[in-house]
Each structure stands twice: as C-alpha cells, then as structure tokens.
Structure 1
Amino acid sequence: MTRRVVITGIGVRAPGGNGTKAFWDLLSNGRTATRNISFFDASQFRSRIAGEVDFDAVAEGFSPREIRRMDRATQFAVACTRDALADSGLDLGSVDPHRVGVSLGSAVASATSLENEYLVMSDAGKSWEVDPAYLSPHMFDYLSPGVMPAEVAWEVGAEGPVTMVSDGCTSGLDSVGYAVQLIREGTVDTVVAGAADTPVSPIVVACFDAIKATTTRNDDPAHASRPFDGTRNGFVLAEGAAMFVLEEYEAAKKRGAHIYAEVGGYATRCNAHHMTGLRKDGREMAEAIRVSLDEARLDGTTIDYINAHGSGTKQNDRHETAAFKRSLGDHAYNVPVSSIKSMVGHSLGAIGSVEIAASLLAIEHNVVPPTANLHTPDPECDLDYVPLTAREQRVDTVLTVGSGFGGFQSAMVLHRPEVASV
C-alpha cells in the first residue's frame, strides 16, 4: 500500500511581511509588496523594481557567526524551518534522526554572497586579477549549493537523505515533490522541505535585463506585476522562502497533528525544446498536470482552485492558459485561477514553495487569493483569474503549477485528507 504524505508545518519569508500570518494577510487582502530596489543603486538597470523581504537576521535570532557564515538565502531557509517545525508541533528529539530528511530547492543559491565576495576581492571590479588575500574563510559555503540543505539538516538534526534541488523556477515545487517520494517509498518518515532564493542582486538583475524578461514599469512598482493582464510586459524579480514539515499520514494522525493538506500527486516534465521557449498548446505543462491528477487518483473536475505560475510574461501566461484547457477540458472555465506573483513578485527557485504555502492557506481558510493588478483582460487568457479581490469559497483541492527556464514544467495536487479519490 502506498504511504500517504501530509504537510503539518509551514514557515514563510516573503515580501510584505515575515511569517505565515503576515504572508496570508497580504494575499487575502490583495495587497502588493513590490517596490523600488533598495538593496543597491539600481539606476543603471532597465528594470529597477523588486519584491524585497524586510528580514533582520539579528531579530530572527542568528548569531554574528551564523550571519557571517550563512548566505542570506540560507538564513531564510533556516528561519522558515524553525517556524515550520514549531508550527507542526513535531518533537524531532523523539524521532530516529536517520528517518528524517531534508529537501531544499534554490535557483541561484548563494549568488548574493558570491557577488559580494567578488566585489571585495576585485576592489569592486577595478582589478582584473582578484586578490585571494581578501578571500572569505566561508567561500566554500557560498560556492557549494549543497551547504544550504546541510545547514537545515544541522538545524533539525536530520541524518537521512539531505538533497539540493536546483532546476530553475520549478525548484520549490520539485524539492517538495522529491520529499513526497522519499516518504512514499519508505526511505524516511519525515522531511523538512521547501526552497529559498535571494536573487535581488546586481548580477541577477543584469542577467534578466539582458534577455528583457523583467518589467520596465519602474514608475509604478506596486502595480508592475500584472499576470494575465493585457498590458503586462514582464515579471518582477523577488526574494523569498517557504519551508514545510512533511510526514507520513498515519504517524501525523496518531500524534494528533494539524494537517494542512495531503500531497495527492506530483509530476514534472521537460519540453526538451528550448531554454526559454514554450509551445503555444501548453502540452508539457498539461502532461505534468495529467500525471499529477492520475497519481492523486482524482478527476480534473475536483479541482477547486488553480494556483498558477502566472509570471506576467505574455508567453508564459498564454502557455499556462492553454495547458489548463488541455488538461481540465471544460472545467478550466469553471475553476478560479490566480497568480500570487502579482503581489509578491517572482522569487525564482523559491516561488514554487511560496505558492505551495499560499495553496495550503487557501485550503485552510477557504479563500482564493486574487490576481492583483488585473484590470485589462487579455483575450487570449480567457479564464477566471480572480481579479483584484480575494474570493471566499470552499477549497478542498488545489492544483499548483510551475514553469521554469530549461523547459521544466511541474504540477502538484494538494487536498484535504478526507477528499475521496476516483
């Protein structure tokens, strides 16, 4: 018999407020947290806005040594892990550490610290040959992405599988998907999983400037992220993180844990076609959706809400719309769809986990978060995108999807444990 997997703890760091409560308050009220970049002088860039997190490492309880050792993204992951573990009520001291794993996703890992170290060693780029005398003793921690999940493992005492998942913007979905597989196959009973990315740095901003993927609506940062809107012109870069405690269902039920949702199904596919190009028919995402529904043993008509990737680029939004129609048929026109990137921006590898958190909270509160800034519908995006205002309704089953550079397409089905399969 296949072991069932549930999520019992959530921790979030996102633009607009730290913690799960602040995150949900922002989403449910349709507020936006995108603003002018304040971390550095962005005047030279084409896109000068972002979703920044007001994160104070000292207030979060990190020691000076930890702050020096850990990249900002790692700090996010550890802070979210602490919240998720406290939220779950799970005493890991009573659990065999070999039965506890960690699965962490990130697209650019410690890019912020790597860039800062380069600036120091090269004297802000003035010296062609860098001076190793100024090399940080923690450079390896910044260079190796695997250090990020290792820090989480040290935090929780996990001695089972500890893994880094890095496949672009689907990393935060895929890391949780991998965690589900570990529990289902019986390798572990508990996994701390999620993702963290802090890409609001000059090098990352410059990269997206070069391919013109980000918006130039610098005069109105609060309304710049416009998924599915006819006036959209690119996404808003952001940072963020979300971590979860995943457990085997019977064990969670036995200890009386609060269960946010069961992970019914998960699938990922690649279009093997183009680094950034997407087929108009949405075939790759539709296939991931179909497989995730089959794994959950649910019919597409059971989906109550779709948490879309909704990046705010014309190619992605149209691809997704086609994928929903292809996979759900006529039900695609009846189910509400929304993109929280309209409010918190696109935190690259972290966003898939941040969107899982939003999906879990939609089930918890029976509220569908809105797509902010959607005033001018695109005729090619003709589904119900829940414009501007959150919607109260029963939410038992959520489909959340992700799309990433490299052709990655992932989908996950989350539902209340009592939802019957077909």
Structure 2
Amino acid sequence: MSQRRVVITGIGVVAPGGLGAKAFWERIVAGTPMTRLITAFDSTGFRSRIAAECDFDPFQYGFSEHDIGRLDRAALFALTATREAMSDSGLVVDRDDAHRVGVSLGTAVGATLRLEERYRAVSHEGRDWLVDHRLAGPDLYDYFVPSSMAAEVAWAVGAEGPNAVVSAGCTSGIDAVGHAWDLIRDGSVDMMIAGATDAPIAPITVACFDAIKATSNTNDDPGTAARPFDRTRNGFVLGEGSAVLVLEELQSARRRDAHIYAEIRGYASRGNAFHMTGLRPDGQEMAAAIRAALDTARIPATAVDYVNAHGTATRQNDRHETQALKRGLGMHAYDVPISSIKPVIGHSLGAVGAIEVAASAMAIEFDVVPPTANLHHPDAELDLDYVPREARQRKLSTVLTVGSGFGGFQSAMVLAAPEAVAA
C-alpha cells in the first residue's frame, strides 16, 4: 500500500526576539543574537548567567488571569503557537471529523518552572523534608505530568484523535513532528497539530548544565556567547520557546486550497547506546539517521540544498555533527550550505527541534539560507560551509534538518518544496 503524503499548512512560533513566525524569521535571517543576562531569576553565583529569553506577556495574547495562574509558561507558549498555526492554516476542526485530528507535542523538561515554584512553596523554600501538601495548589499534578500540555492543546483546537507527548531530550521537537508525520502517512489521522515547547530558564536547569559545563560562561558579552563551529566556542546558551505546525494529508490540504509551506518527505531517529552526555566523534548514529531519512524520502544526498544544523557550540557536538554530515551526505557535504540558528534564539532543549523544522519550512518558502551568527574564527577541524554571519539567497528544493540529544538520540528530517508536492 502506498504511503500518504504529508504537508505543512500552518506555522506558529514563540521565540526570543519577537513572537510569531514572521518576527522569528526576520530575526534569524538578520542573524541578530537575542542572548542576554538572565532576568527570569537572580543568577548571581551561577557559572553561566546568560540565556535567550522570550519577552512574553500572556495577557497580550488573550490569556485570562485564571489561565495564567494555572498554566506553566511552557503550556502558555504551546497554546500561543498553536493559535497562530491554526490561524495561519485556516483550519477549523469540524466536530464530525475531530477524531481524525491528533496532537503530538514534544518537551524535554515539561513544567519545570511551576514544579520548582510549587516545591519551594510546599517545602517552605526547601527548609522542610516533610512537605505540606496543603500548600501545593490544585494544579500540581498537571505540572508533574507533561501530557497535561498536550491535553491543553487538544482541548484548544477540539482534536479528538491520537494525543501524545514525546520526550527525548533535545530531539523531542523533531521527534514529535516525526511521530505526527507517521500517523498521517499510515492513515490513522488526516491532520496533526505537532510541535514542541519548553520554558527551562530556571535555577534547577541552569544548575544542571553548570554542573557538566555544557553552557557558555561568556557572561560579559552575552550576544557573542553562542558560537557554533567557531574555534573559540565554549558551550551553548539556554533558550526557551515553542513551535507548532499544522500537518495535513496532501489531498486534504488540496481540497481546502490551503497554503503549503513544504512536504515532509522523510524522517528517522537513531540512538548511540554509548553515553548519557558523550558523543562518538565519528558521528555514525546521526549519519545513519540522515541516510535513513533520505532513503525514506527517496531523495539522493546530492539533492539536499541546505542543512539546518543542530549546531550547539559545544566542542564535541560540532565535531560529531561535522563528521556525521560527511558520512551521511558523502562528498556533497562539502558543497551544501549548513547553518545553525541557535546563536540567535538559544537552545530551547526539547522545543528547538520543532523550531528548526519551522525554520526549514520557511527557508524553503523564502528561498533563503539563514546565517550562523557569531562565526568569526573558523575551526580548521570543521571544514564545511557553515554560512558565517550573512544569509544567502538560494533556491531551496530540499532541506535536511537534524537534531542531537543527551542520551544518544539522533534524528533527521527531510523537507521538500511545494512545487515538488504538485508533481
């Protein structure tokens, strides 16, 4: 049986530097970093005191005082991105067809902010080992289970089909979109609201990454702190945000005369069964995911016009990814432009994979390769074309986006231009 084709018909983004897909796109094309000293809490004493924060006022986006009181910041992000994606797509879920619409939401750390806040409350700021449950509030369980955020998205759009949370560390976003793609392809549903959200800028998260020295400590110049593929790189910068996509079976999109950003042609995920935070330098697992995604898409490596890189600016990731692209794309790796948008928006953990899928679809939409900001000092060991500092106008028919996560998760997705969809 032939597999059904899946297209992107709506995009919603919450990211540092301006909310909404349009503001997000303009920011990453300009290559203007949005990293700054942390304002969300007093970071005095932390090794890394910088982050890419969203200037997000939930009242401005129509949330009531009740909503703001009960929902974690990550859930508010997801709902905001969902509203934009649904409006962009023009999709309204009909009650009779609601069971054919599902939700797939990725997150790495769930409701971190509210869990930490509630723990401080029930333990009297950590003083008491035996906590006072009467101080917990009625929504504590929702913060404890990340599935509550996917439920909120489903309720908001009226989706009664499959509803899942994907939590695979930093590949959660791309994997959540991949899961949704699979469900549409095999006929389980016709449409999916798919994406990811994370709001991890909290003391517990910053402390975790401080402990393993994964984040940049360029606190005196936050704007230059995230430097993927640069020989002076010294770690990633934490971010926050959300991206939600409307995925739709091709014939359904055509019947609605919906705008199509891109078709998702292939997706694959692999693990390295090696180390929680370490990566094999040869990049075999990511290369395997790349090859599998291209094989599913029935697209040769030489057809890839742009690679949206994971590009975290840790020394081991940038080496690992460079080797993976050489193994996965062969000699074509030396000819294709590759860039990371993380110097602009930071690394929002589980959310960033979905944000990068959105960026890849918009790159196809506008035929523009976003730059790798802050890349001033090329590392001789990293000898591919990483598009330093300035965007490039280029016809894009096929885009590859990749992700890598602690635990050894490696994922790849292939997107194709709408003109290929019409064939």
Counterparts of 1:351 and 1:379, CA distance in 2 = 27
Please give the per-residue CA displacement for 1:280-325, whole angstroms capped at 9, x wherever unaligned: 1110000000000000000001101000000000100010000111
SS at match of 2:420: coil
In 2 relative to 1, CA 94–129 (structure 1 residues): closer, same or farther, beyond 3 Å? Answer: closer
Alignment map for 1:43-54 (pairs within 5 Å): 43-54=44-55
- What do the CA deviations read for 1:118-149 (whole angstroms, capped 9, x no partner)? 11122222333322221111001101111010
- The residue number in structure 1 matching 2:259 is 258
Partner of 1:21: 22
Give the equivalent residue in structure 2 for 1:296. Answer: 297
In the alignment, does 2:107 pair up with 1:106? yes
Distance in 2, Cα, partners of 1:129 & 1:47: 32
Provide the residue aligned with 2:229 in structure 1: 228
Deviation at 1:393, TM superposition (A): 0.9
Structure 2 counterpart of 1:323: 324
3-state secondary structure, aligned to 2:94: helix
1:417 shift after superposition: 3.7
Equivalent residues of 2:263, 2:421 under 8 A apart: no
**Matches of 1:352 and 1:28, distance apart in 2:** 18
Aligned counterparts of 1:97 and 1:199: Cα–Cα separation in 2 = 32
Matches for 1:356-367 after TM superposition, within 5 Å: 356-367=357-368
Distance 2:129 2:297 in 1: 55
Residues in 1 aligned to 2:216 and 2:286: alpha-carbon distance in whole angstroms: 24
Q: State the alpha-carbon separation in 2 of the partners of residues 128 and 45 from structure 1.
A: 25
Corresponding position: 1:120 with 2:109: no
Deviation at 1:420, TM superposition (A): 8.3
Which secondary structure does the structure 1 equivalent of 2:277 belong to?
coil
Q: Matches of 1:152 and 1:266 in 2, distance apart?
A: 24
- For the pair 1:199 / 2:219, whether they are aligned, the reply is no
Shift of the 295–88 alpha-carbon distance from structure 1 to 2, 3 Å rule, reads same
Alpha-carbon distance, 1:179 to partner = 0.1
The residue identity in structure 1 corresponding to 2:234 is: N
Q: Which amino acid aligns with 2:194?
A: A
Match status 1:138 vs 2:136: no
Deviation at 1:93, TM superposition (A): 2.5
Quote how far apart the aligned CAs of 1:95 are: 5.8
Cα distance in 1, alignment partners of residues 361 and 95 from structure 2? 27
* Contact 2:365 2:417 survives alignment (8 Å): no
TM-score normalised by structure 1 residue count: 0.98
The one-letter code sitting in structure 2 at the alignment partner of 1:139 is L
TM-score, structure 2 normalization: 0.98
Query: Number of residues paired by the alignment?
Result: 421
Q: Check whether the contact 2:309–2:401 (CA below 8 A) recurs between aligned residues.
A: yes
Cα deviation, 1:227-252, whole Å, max 9, x if unaligned, reads: 00000000001101000000000110
Amino acid at match of 1:245: V
Residue of structure 1 in register with 2:334 after alignment: 333
Q: 2:85 aligns to what SS in structure 1?
A: helix
What is the deviation of 1:340? Answer: 0.3
Query: Equivalent residue for 1:156?
Result: 157
Give the distance between the partners of 1:300 and 1:387, measured in 2 at CA: 23
Letter of the structure 2 residue corresponding to residue 68 of structure 1: G
Determine helix, strand or coil for the equivalent of 1:359. Answer: helix
Q: Deviations over 1:28-70 (max 9, x none)?
A: 1111101100010001100000010011111111111111121
CA shift digits 1:139-176 (9 cap, x unpaired): 01101111010000000111110000001000000000
The percentage of counterpart residues that share the same residue type is 62
How many Å apart are 1:416 and its aligned residue?
A: 1.2
Distance 1:77 1:420, change over 3 A: closer
Q: Corresponding residue for 1:342?
A: 343
More displaced 10-residue stretch of structure 1: 81-90 or 410-419: 410-419
- Distance, in Å, in 2 between the alignment partners of 1:266 and 1:164 is 18
Asked if the contact 2:4–2:250 (Cα under 8 Å) also holds between the matched residues in 1, the reply is yes
Q: For structure 2, list consecutive stretches of 5 or more residues without a partner in the other structure.
A: none
| Structure-2 residue corresponding to 1:248 | 249
Q: Distance in 2 between matches of 1:373 and 1:94?
A: 49
Q: 2:314, 2:64 → 1: CA distance?
A: 40
Taking the aligned partners of 1:304 and 1:156, their CA distance within structure 2 comes to 35
Query: Given the superposition, is the C-alpha separation of residues 134 and 216 from structure 1 closer, same or farther in structure 2, using an over 3 Å criterion?
Result: same
Pick closer, same or farther for the CA change 1:95–1:362 going to 2, 3 Å.
Answer: farther
Structure 2 counterpart of 1:11, one-letter code: G
2:45 aligned partner, one-letter code: Q
Q: Does 1:55 align with 2:59?
A: no
State the match for 1:407 in structure 2: 408
Q: Partner amino acid for 1:111? A: T
Structure 1: state its 5+ residue gaps. Answer: none
Please name the residue that 2:284 is paired with: 283
Take 1:256 and 1:95, find their aligned partners in 2: how far apart are those partners?
20
Which amino acid letter does the alignment assign opposite residue 36 of structure 2? Answer: R
| 2:312 matched residue in structure 1 | 311
